[in-house]
Amino acid sequence: MNNNYELYKVFYWAAKTGSLTQAAKTLFLTQPSVSHAIKQLEDSIGLTLFYRNSKGVALTQEGAILYSYIEQSHILITLAEEKMAALKTLESGDLRIGGSDSLFKHYLLPYLEDFHLKYPGVKLHLNHGTTPEVISFLKEGRIDLGVVRMPIVDPQLQVRESFLLQDCFVAGAAYAELKDKVLSLDTLLQYPVILFSRNSRARMTITEIFQSYGYTIKPEIEVGSVDLLIEFARRGLGISYVTREFVSKELEEGSLFEVRLDVPLPPSHVGIMTMRNMPLTSAAIRFIELIG
């Protein structure tokens, strides 16, 4: 027995209203169509589901048992439809984003705040990690999108270029003698250098830049966060390689200054990363549009 859902829908409304005429109006059908659908269902089941009374129709004992199940199904389907509508209009749902601590704090925070104000019913889930970790999060289905430094070369991923960041070397008062100088890479390497951890995209980038000029950069100190890069440089523990946009406050107030080099440091491209050929949630689409 594999009845069409439409037959159960007719049965539900006939039972709920107690009237074939009212059921027909609710479903925008004719009364003969409703009568025919109920007969089809009864013939399929092999049981009588209704009997006629002075007010219209009433459920038989077997019909009442069937109605108790169909009513639950109707409630669940209605709830599912309401949930889908809420997800579409972003009245509810989830937005799961992966990225580094620094990108969340120094770049994405205003966008996240704006998104939350516009769609307070959508729950935000932020997964912190390095670029390789964020890629793993995405492939494992733990996030909807990742915000990472490029380049990313992976046929499973689609990356939309979003914005540019400029990295630079900075130092604090302990290295004030370098403030008005332009250093060669060889001179810079005579000072203690502080870099991000080995598996970060920023670390890979500066390593590749120095190698292109025939140098190997070996940090005196390795750290796992931008905040430590900034604080260590301020305290005079070395010269840190950071993103200029992330230390704009310190550069403006003078607690840090940029150490200029005689070679250019190319800007870093940041992209929005998603799984290729995988549909995005409404929340993810709206957030990507918000970032622009």
> Whole-number mean pLDDT of the chain?
92
- Residues in CB range of 257: below 8 A, 6 or more apart: 170, 171, 172, 179, 251
Residue 1 has pLDDT above 70, yes or no: no
- When mean pLDDT is compared across 83-97, 100-114, 158-172, the lowest value belongs to 83-97
Phi-psi region of 82 (alpha: psi -120 to 50; beta: other; left: phi over 0): alpha
CA dist 181 to 92, 217, 252, 260, Å? 55, 20, 19, 7
Whether pLDDT at 254 is above 60 = yes
Distance between CA 279 and CA 65 in Å, rounded?
41
Query: What confidence category does residue 83 fall into, taking pLDDT thresholds of 50, 70 and 90?
Result: confident
Most confident of 87-91, 132-136, 198-202: 132-136
* Spatial separation of the C-alpha atoms in residues 120 and 291, rounded to whole Å: 17
Which residue's entry shows tokens 């009364």? 31
- Residue 275, pLDDT above cutoff 60: yes
Residues whose CB falls within 8 Å of the CB of residue 163, separated by 6 or more in sequence, listed in order: 107, 269, 270
For the chain, the maximum distance between any two Cα atoms, rounded to a whole number of angstroms, is 102
Polymer length of the chain: 292
Threshold 0.75, pTM exceeds: no
Domains of the chain: 5-88 (1.10.10.10), 94-162+270-291 (3.40.190.10), 167-266 (3.40.190.10)
* pLDDT on residue 135: 93
* Lowest mean per-residue pLDDT among 84-88, 168-172, 183-187, 210-214: 84-88
**How confident is the model at residue 3, as a pLDDT?**
65
CA angle 134, 239, 170 (to 5 degrees): 80
Distance CA 187, CA 184 (A): 5
Q: What's the pLDDT tens digit per position in 116-131?
A: 999 999 999 999 988 8
Q: What percent of the chain is predicted at pLDDT more than 90? A: 73
Q: Which of 64, 88, 92 is nearest to 279 (CA)?
A: 88
pLDDT at 5 over 90: no
